[in-house]
Amino acid sequence: MKERTVRADTGFLEEVTDFINAELEGAGCPMKTLMQIDLALEELFVNIASYAYRDKPEGGDALIRIDVTDGIASITLEDGGIPFDPTAKVDPDPTAPLEEREIGGLGIFLTKKIMDEVRYEYRGGRNILTVTKKI
């Protein structure tokens, strides 16, 4: 298990992605799965960077943890910001006509579709979101 703490800012997305990719590549993760995990990671990290600390002008940190056991990659993102359960969000309608398509809400929907499991808990004043996928 490895973890890294960065500032919750989209400027750190590349660092976070590189960190997770290095672990996944080391575990022999296929390219397609790697990109799907990157996608979920981007959506979740950008979510934290955009919303978690919007009530704090000084911002805050995000912790990213990865564990690969028995061919299952488990990635956890933690922040100490505003309690927010992205799994509780209503999914956008993927059959809606173009004019009714909303710009938002696609990210978490994609994450839920692409990952095997998305789990949220709020514990000790922290948002803890874990996504898992077989690699």
Partner 1 sequence: MTINKQQNGTALTLAVEGRLDTITSPELEAALKESLEGIDALTFDFSALDYISSAGLRVLLSAQKQMNKQGSMKVTGVSEIIMEIFEVTGFTDILTIE
* Binding region for partner 1 (CB under 8 A): 10, 13-14, 32, 35-36, 38-39, 42-43, 46, 93-99, 101, 103, 106-107, 109-110, 113-114
Q: Cβ closer to partner 1: 67 or 107?
A: 107
What is the nearest approach in angstroms of partner 1 to the Cβ of residue 87? 16
CB distance 4 to 19 below 8 Å:
yes
Q: C-beta of 33: minimal distance to partner 1 in Å?
A: 10
Report, in Å, the least distance between residue 135 CB and partner 1.
Answer: 15
Map 48-97 to HEC letters. HHHHHCCCCCCCCEEEEEEEEECCEEEEEEEECCCCCCHHHCCCCCCCCC
Q: CB-based contacts of 18: which residues, under 8 Å, 6+ apart? A: none
Answer whether 29's CB lies under 8 Å from 37's CB.
yes
Structure tokens at 112: 């839920």
> CB of 80: closest distance to partner 1 in angstroms?
22
Please identify, using beta-carbon distances, which residue of 58 and 102 lies nearer to partner 1.
102
Instruction: Give 5 or 50: the residue with its C-beta nearer to partner 1.
Output: 50
